[in-house]
Amino acid sequence: MLADFQQALADLTASPELCMAVKIDPSLLMRRYQLTDREAGRLEGIVRHPGMACSCMVYRANRLAPLALNTPRLCKALGHDLRAVASDYWADHPQSNVHFYVEADRFCRFVRREIARGRSFGPEVGSALEIESAQVAAALRESHTEAA
């Protein structure tokens, strides 16, 4: 069905790993989604298209945008860890939020939770998180521009 086709395409675009898994075993699509043969064939065609790597890249860049924009010091302080942390965050929150401050606020909470669980990061991460999470929380409060 069309809704599943569109969701599958969104999921594939979000995940190069899922694209790879489908390339290896196309029957995975039918197991995960309710698709007609035509829809499954279309998705297989898309996954094998050379442009799919680019779609996946742009997806990640667009998902990173609210974080880079609103928590630039935190992203910089995470350095090489950013890639892994962002991937874990997206696995935890597969749906992006169109409200950039909600998205950035969620990311700050996620990093704080990871630290509380004992994950260790570079020395600047703690202070960057403290400063920017407060800024994001304030911006989020202020984005309630009109009476409820």
Question: Which amino acid is it at 20?
Answer: M
Minimum CB distance to another protein, residue 75 (Å): 15
Minimum CB distance to another protein, residue 9 (Å): 5
Q: Is residue 45 near another protein by the rule CB under 8 A?
A: yes
Minimum CB distance to another protein, residue 108 (Å): 18
Each residue 9-28 as x (binds another protein by CB under 8 A) or -, in order, gives: xx--x---------------
Angle at 78 between CA 72 and CA 115, to 5 degrees: 115
User: Which of 30, 88, 96, 109: binder of another protein (CB under 8 A)?
Assistant: 96
Stretch that binds another protein, among 24-32, 54-62, 73-81, 115-123 (CB under 8 A): 54-62
Whichever of 79 and 94 has its CB closer to another protein, that residue is: 94
Nearest to residue 72, comparing CAs of 62, 60, 82, 84? 82
Helix (H) or strand (E) holding 74: helix 72-78
Tokens, residue 43: 């998705």
Distance from C-alpha of 113 to C-alpha of 36, rounded to nearest angstrom: 41
In sequence order, the 6+-apart residues with CB closer than 8 A to the CB of 46 are 9, 12, 52
In sequence order, the 6+-apart residues with CB closer than 8 A to the CB of 3 are none
Minimum CB distance to another protein, residue 122 (Å): 26
Instruction: Name the residues that contact another protein, by CB under 8 A.
Output: 1-3, 5-7, 9-10, 13, 38, 41-42, 45-46, 49-52, 54-55, 57-59, 61-63, 65-66, 94-99, 101-102, 143-148
